[in-house]
Amino acid sequence: MEYTDVVMENFTCPKHVGEIEDANGVGQVGSPACGDIMKIFLKINGDGVIEDASFKTFGCGAAVASSSMATDMIIGKTIEEAGKFKNSDVVDALGGLPAEKIHCSVLAAEAIQAAIEDYHKNKA
């Protein structure tokens, strides 16, 4: 297994680790049995723009790096834009992932969608 430098950077110095106290969208996917849990926190403003995002992740290097990269990428986006966010966006930004680790990027994308859903639910 070989991680790119970008993956290693995002693993060793992940951006946006932790919880956002006043998050209004929180999504969590995965299970410890499968070896990965990702929890994404979003703070979305009145214009539907993601002002801040953060994560907590139980998982391998790729899971942590994917979380870090994904949260970093969606900050500043509208929830509409973020709704179109795909796992391949994370993979590309990380400069690639080993085949058996692609599912980590999928989890990250899913966690974001879950957080957006949560936001919609909270608003409704």
In the Cβ-directed half-sphere of 25, how many Cα atoms lie within 13 Å?
Answer: 28
Q: Pick the closest to residue 54 from 20, 91, 100, 102 (CA basis).
A: 20
12 is a contact residue toward other proteins (CB under 8 A) = yes
Terminal Cα-to-Cα distance of the chain (whole angstroms): 44
Q: How far is the CB of 71 from other proteins (least distance, A)?
A: 12
Q: How far is the CB of 47 from other proteins (least distance, A)?
A: 28
Please report which helix (H) or strand (E) contains residue 67, including its range: helix 61-74
What CA–CA distance (Å, rounded) separates 41 from 39?
Answer: 7
For other proteins, the binding residue among 81, 92, 100, 117 (CB under 8 A) is: 100
Judged by DSSP in three states, 122 sits in helix
Is residue 60 annotated as part of the catalytic site, yes or no? no
For other proteins, the binding residue among 4, 24, 28, 113 (CB under 8 A) is: 28
25 is a contact residue toward other proteins (CB under 8 A) = no
Catalytic residue among 38, 104, 108, 116: 104
Catalytic residue among 12, 34, 45, 88: 34
**Helix crossing, 5-12 with 61-74: angle to 10°?**
90
Is residue 34 annotated as part of the catalytic site, yes or no? yes
Q: Which residues bind other proteins (CB under 8 A)?
A: 1-3, 8, 11-12, 14, 17-18, 28, 31-39, 56-61, 63-64, 98, 100, 103
Name the residues annotated as catalytic. 34, 104
